[in-house]
């Protein structure tokens, strides 16, 4: 049976009864009843539109995006990119181990 989409306490209680009768645990039934009540409260209300215009991207952000695209173009697939990063991590680890050995 469908739930009652209302903010009244009577509808809230009835929704809990219906959900429990449908086999839901009590806590879940209460959560569903609250969600239904909340959606009924917000029905018909719309969000206000933003009055300020969106800011355009700044030059550093654009430069970073260009670098990202260039880097991504070098590594066509995620697998290639993962291999690349694993190789860089291995090289870094080897450099760190060599630096520890020199001390």
The region of weakest confidence among 9-18, 22-31, 87-96 is: 87-96
The per-residue pLDDT for range 87-101, each reduced to its tens digit, is 888 998 888 888 887
Q: What is the pTM of this model?
A: 0.44
Query: Could you tell me which residue, 18 or 61, shows the higher pLDDT?
Result: 18
- Percentage of residues in the chain with pLDDT exceeding 70? 64
DSSP structure string for 23-79:
T--HHHHHHHHHHHHHHHHHTT--PPPP-SPPPPPPHHHHHHHHHHHHHHHHS-SHH
Q: How far apart are CA 61 and CA 33, in angstroms?
A: 45
Low-confidence winner among 7-16, 18-27, 45-54 (lowest mean pLDDT): 45-54
For residues 62 and 64, what is the distance between their CA atoms, to the nearest angstrom? 5
Question: Once rounded to an integer, what is the mean pLDDT over residues 47-67?
Answer: 58
pLDDT at residue 75 tops 80: no
């Amino acid at each position: 049976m469908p739930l009652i989409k209302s903010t009244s306490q009577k509808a809230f209680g009835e929704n809990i009864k219906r959900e429990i009768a449908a086999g839901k645990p009590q806590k879940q039934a209460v959560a569903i009843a609250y969600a239904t009540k909340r959606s009924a409260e917000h029905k018909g209300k719309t969000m206000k539109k933003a009055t300020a215009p969106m800011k355009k991207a700044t030059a550093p952000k654009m430069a970073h995006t260009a670098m990202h695209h260039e880097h991504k173009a070098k590594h066509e697939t995620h697998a290639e990119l993962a291999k690349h990063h694993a190789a860089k991590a291995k090289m870094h680890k080897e450099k760190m181990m060599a630096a520890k050995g020199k001390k």
